[in-house]
Amino acid sequence: MHITILTIFPEMFTSFLSESMIGRAIAQGLLTVDCVDLRPFSDRKHKNTDDDPFGGGAGMVMLAQPIVSAMESVAPGGEGARRIFLSPRGETLTQRKAESLAKEAHLVLLCGHYEGVDQRAIDLCIDEELSIGDYVLTGGEPAAMVLVDCIARLVPGVLGCADSAVDESFSSGLLEYPQYTRPRVFQGLSVPEVLLNGNHAEIVKWRRREALRITRERRPDLLAGVELTEAERGMMAEWDAENDER
Ligand code: SAH
């Protein structure tokens, strides 16, 4: 998978791309990420990349020209690339969306700044707008990092163990069950007995039950998209009845 990031602050990505899992994935060649500085693409004398908004108002707007020129240089005609503008107006990123983007060969991510980007750049060379949530950042760089991080861990080989991406929060449609590691007792709190006895079937059952319990408590909206067995439906009904009694 190849990702190109168009930004006026390429240095912001230096440690993000060199440390931890992302750093390792890049070192192993599972992922290539290029940060392309928009400034050199500006045809203005002082290489500006923004100007005042037509119609007035606060803040600056990023010029269309450097963006369109940079885009043409990294993905001519948009061939073979999915060109994404990180923007609070976009579709909200979800695990499903990340899974579908992880199948693309080349992603180009445009990071906005200031008040935003001249609409004509979006009209001319963006395939879709993507938001990382209902809040506003000062720039698209942190959003691009969130997207790269979330997609990278879905690229085969990036996570240590092939199935560690399978049964975690959101992949199964449920939030994740609680995790424990050594020691068995910490500050008087013990690890649930079932996790210590080596009975794999019991452990799977306990984890599924805990995932259902936590999802029901915190994000009941997610349950609508989850297939439940007859027994699980019964268990949930019992929990509901217990709740009603209280
Ligand atoms: N005036 C704009 C906000 C500009 S914020 C508006 O009201 O929509 C500056 C830049 O930060 C945006 O161009 C975008 O690239 C990025 N950004 C801000 N919030 C974001 C979010 N929730 N998701 C993705 N990108 C975001």
Residues contacting ligand 1 via CB (< 6 Å): 86-89, 111-113, 115-117, 131-133, 135-137, 139-140, 143
How many residues belong to the chain? 246
**Binning pLDDT at 50, 70 and 90, where does residue 78 land?**
very high
> Is the model more confident about 109 or about 246?
109
CA of 135 to the centre of ligand 1 (A): 8
Residue 37: name the closest of 80, 85, 4, 64 by CA: 4
CA of 144 to the centre of ligand 1 (A): 11
**Binning pLDDT at 50, 70 and 90, where does residue 160 land?**
confident
pLDDT digit string (tens) for 122-155? 999 999 999 999 999 999 999 999 999 999 999 9
**Binning pLDDT at 50, 70 and 90, where does residue 165 land?**
low
CA of 110 to the centre of ligand 1 (A): 11
What is the model's pTM?
Answer: 0.94
> Taking a C-beta distance cutoff of 8 angstroms, is the pair 28, 59 a contact?
no
Residue 155: name the closest of 67, 245, 30 by CA: 30
For the segment 163-189, the average pLDDT, to the nearest whole number, is 87
Indicate the top mutation candidate among 136, 138, 145 to test ligand 1's pocket, ranked by most ligand atoms within 8 A of CB. 136
> Alpha helix locations (H) across the chain?
14-18, 20-27, 64-74, 95-101, 119-125, 141-152, 200-218, 230-245
pLDDT at 163: 56
pLDDT at 162: 54
